[in-house]
Amino acid sequence: MSARIHPSILAADFARLGAELERIRTADLIHFDVMDYHFVPNLSFGMPIFETITASSPLPLDVHLMISDPGRWAPGYAEAGAASVTFHAEATDDPAAVARDIRAAGARPALALKPGTAIEPYLEILGEFDMVLVMTVEPGFGGQAFMPETMPKLRALRERVDAEGLELRLQVDGGIDATTIATAAEHGADTFVAGSSVFGAENAAAQIELLRETADA
C-alpha cells in the first residue's frame, strides 16, 4: 500500500489560494482543518470555504473536524462532496452513529484521537470506519512539534488492524516532515497530513515526492 500525502491547507497562503492548490496537485487528497473556537482554542474555516475549494480544486478533500457536536455538522460535508470526513472521538458520545451518518451521506468516515486519548474504548467499533487519525500534536494549530509518545498507540492499532484483516487506513497529523514521517511509517501509518513542511517548501511537488518516498522506504 503506497503512502498517501495530504497537504493541510491551514498552512497555505490564503491570499493566493488558487496558486497554492496548483502547487500541491501531485498530492493524494487535500486536508481541510475545520476548527470552531470551542473544541479547540482556534478558528479556521467552514462550509463556505469548503464549497469554494471543492468547486475549483483538482483534488478531493479530506475534512478534519476539530469541532464540538460533530454529529450535527459532519453529514453536511459529506453531502457537499468531501471524500472523507474525520471527527474526534472526544467530541461525541456515539461515534458509531456519526460514522454511519457520514457514510450514508456519501463520504468515508474516520475517527480522530487526541494524543492523550486511548484507542481501547473504540476497538469494537473500528469496522464502522475507513480510517483512524492518530493525532501527533494537540489539535488546534499548525507548525507544532511531532509527539513521539503517540507512537505506541499507532503501533498497537496497526497490529490490531493487521491481525483482524481490517480495511482501515491509519493517518497521522501534526509535525510531519521528512524526518518524522519515517518514524510514523515504521509504527504503521500509511496516510500522512503535512502542513508547514509542504507549503513551507520552495518546491512543494518535490517535497510531496520526498515525503512519499521516505514513508515507502
Burial code of 30-55, b = ≥16 C-beta within 10 A, e = fewer? Answer: bbbbbbbeebbeeebbbeeebeebbe
The residue with its CB nearest to Zn ion is 64
Least separation in angstroms between CB 76 and ligand DX5: 19
Least separation in angstroms between CB 10 and ligand DX5: 4
Identified catalytic residue from 28, 33, 36, 130:
33
Bind-site residues for substrate: 8, 64, 140-143, 173-175, 195-196
The residue with its CB nearest to ligand DX5 is 195
Identified catalytic residue from 36, 62, 101, 173:
173
* Partner in contact with 20, chosen from Zn ion, ligand DX5, none, beta carbon below 5 to 8 Å by kind: none
Nearer to ligand DX5, 68 or 166 (CB): 68
- Give alpha helix (H) positions in the chain: 17-23, 47-56, 70-79, 95-104, 151-164, 180-186, 196-199, 204-216
Nearer to ligand DX5, 127 or 134 (CB): 134
173 belongs to the binding site for Zn ion (CB under 5 A): yes
Nearer to ligand DX5, 143 or 152 (CB): 143
Residue 8 has what DSSP assignment?
A: B
List, in sequence order, every beta strand (DSSP E) within 103-206: 108-113, 131-135, 169-173, 191-194
Q: Three-state DSSP class for 153? A: helix
Bind-site residues: 8, 31, 33, 64, 140-143, 173-175, 195-196
36 belongs to the binding site for Zn ion (CB under 5 A): no
d(CA 212, CA 5): 7
Nearer to Zn ion, 10 or 126 (CB): 10
For ligand DX5, the binding residues (CB under 6 A) are 8, 10-11, 31, 33, 64, 66, 137, 139-144, 173-176, 193-197
d(CA 36, CA 59): 24
Q: Three-state DSSP class for 187? A: coil
d(CA 202, CA 131): 31
Phi-psi region of 165 (alpha: psi -120 to 50; beta: other; left: phi over 0): left
Whether 173 is catalytic: yes
Whether 69 is catalytic: no
Q: Which positions touch Zn ion (CB under 5 A)?
A: 33, 64, 173
- Which residues are catalytically annotated? 33, 173
